[in-house]
Structure 1
Amino acid sequence: MVVNAVAGSSRPSPSLSAKEIHNKLQELPGPLFHPPSPTEYKGKVPRLQSAIADLRLHPLLEESLHLMNYSLVEPHFYLRKMQNSRGGQHLHGILHRIEGDYENARTWYREASGTETPAQDVTRTEGQDVFVRFWSRQTRLLVDTDAEDIEDEAQLARAAGIAFIDQVEKMKKESKGQVFDAGLGTLERQELEWISKAELNTVVEWAGSTFGWKDWGRGEGYAKDASDAYTGNTEEQREIFKKQSGEGIRKF
């Protein structure tokens, strides 16, 4: 058995690297709707679920890969700990959109754009430019709307991101039968899946280049301690958590 070379660690070396997993996930369409059980727990490709976890990546990279694999349970838990990170807010918005919680998805997209709540002491702003850069290029979503003439890049990104959520929600509402199959086979669904996949790829590539594609560890014996990836919460957020205590993964 090949063991990890980090001093003091006897953990087996992962069979797949993060980049290899990312490449394999390109075979899947971008997630739009809540997947049926057990996919939400095990992922669309179950063997990649444990492969991702075994790598002990930076949390933003790890949860991005889980979402690309349609796995919602772990991101649902960990992204709550990154609610004052712009990158975490962005992923939180994606998670809620897949879950079908569209109002919360819009809320987190507005936060991720940096146009809603000014940065506070607990706010990590890294990742804000990733959201803005990606969505400000999706202006075709704003054609024939009042928002297409917005000049401020962050506000333009915010409007485009919310327009995307609106289109996904509209497709779901017009669906007949299983929600997961809404719009299946249509050009509109293919375009929305392409945007969803491109969005997650953008976050993955940014997180990998910013934090590294290898082990961040979670304690002694590993390469680094990733605890600073998790942010503190504002008093308002703590009150919300009290009301939501015990809340599990959403089903819509």
Structure 2
Amino acid sequence: MANPTSPSLTAAISSLSFHPTLEAALHIFNNDLPSAHFLVRHMQAPPAYERMLLHAILHRIEGDYDNARAWYKNVADSEVFTIVWDGEEAARDLIGQAETLVKNGEGSKQESEKESLREIKAVVDYCRVRFGEEEVRNAIGAWVKPGEDHRKMGEEMVTGGKGVQAILRQDLQIEEKQ
């Protein structure tokens, strides 16, 4: 995982007391993915679609492309997504470009970075309008408790054989048989 672009900014960003969604976006800008992930993990269910979109962006930057695709799909019908993207296919194209660039060294890093920057700026602009830039002294309203369906899905991914771990186990079993 990448380190923050500027480690000294991590504390400065956190001390701004912005809405946690804006804080998470700023951590993403700073490439401080652990701090951003800590925040978005607590805001990852409807109606927190802009936070779910940040979760998608974060996973794309991490190189967890399938997880990013899943998060984009989960927010594709939301207001923030339709403001940021001209459809799910455009967002999926960016994931594909990033994946091809990383895995095969093919494509334009500059174009990919430009589109990624456009996306995060559009999300930040949306969040600035929605949440404002004032100090948030009590952010308890920002945290979202996942619904029962979301909780079950997460549980199945961790222990029920439906997540990344299950795929890795299947891959290992195939390798062992060969």
Aligned-pair distance for 1:241?
Answer: 4.1
Aligned-pair distance for 1:80?
Answer: 1.4
Q: How far apart in 1 are the matches of 2:26 and 2:151?
A: 28
Aligned-pair distance for 1:92?
Answer: 0.6
Decide which of 36, 39, 48 is 2:9's aligned counterpart. 48
The alignment's TM-score, normalised by the length of structure 2, stands at 0.80
**2:117 maps to what in 1?**
197
Matches within 5 A, 1:139-218: 157-175=87-105, 188-217=108-137
Task: Give a deviation string over 1:195-246, Cα, whole Å, max 9, x none.
Answer: 11111111112212221113112xxxxxxx221211121223223444649x
Equivalent residues of 1:44, 1:69 under 8 A apart? yes
- Higher RCO structure (Cα 8 Å, ≥6 apart): 1
Matches within 5 A, 1:93-172: 93-114=56-77, 128-136=78-86, 157-172=87-102
Aligned to 1:81, what secondary structure does the other structure show? coil
Q: How far apart in 1 are the matches of 2:132 and 2:49?
A: 18
Equivalent residues of 1:100, 1:169 under 8 A apart? yes
Q: How far apart in 1 are the matches of 2:58 and 2:39?
A: 11
Q: How far apart in 1 are the matches of 2:17 and 2:158?
A: 28
Alpha-carbon spacing, 1:66–1:168, altered in 2? closer, same or farther (3 Å): same
Q: Percent identity?
A: 35
Aligned partner of 2:82: which letter? V
Aligned-pair distance for 1:167?
Answer: 1.0
Matches within 5 A, 1:54-93: 54-84=15-45, 85-93=48-56
Aligned to 2:17, what secondary structure does the other structure show? coil
Matches within 5 A, 1:30-49: 34-35=1-2, 39=3, 43-49=4-10
The structure with the greater share of residues assigned to helix is 2
Equivalent residues of 2:24, 2:35 under 8 A apart? yes
For structure 2, list consecutive stretches of 5 or more residues without a partner in the other structure.
Answer: 160-178
The alignment's TM-score, normalised by the length of structure 1, stands at 0.58
Aligned to 1:82, what secondary structure does the other structure show? coil
1:238 matches 2:151:
yes
Q: How far apart in 1 are the matches of 2:62 and 2:50?
A: 18
Equivalent residues of 1:55, 1:214 under 8 A apart? no
In the comparison of the two structures, how many residue pairs are matched?
156
Q: How far apart in 2 are the matches of 1:83 and 1:92?
A: 7
State the superposition RMSD in angstroms: 1.8
Q: How far apart in 2 are the matches of 1:135 and 1:216?
A: 28
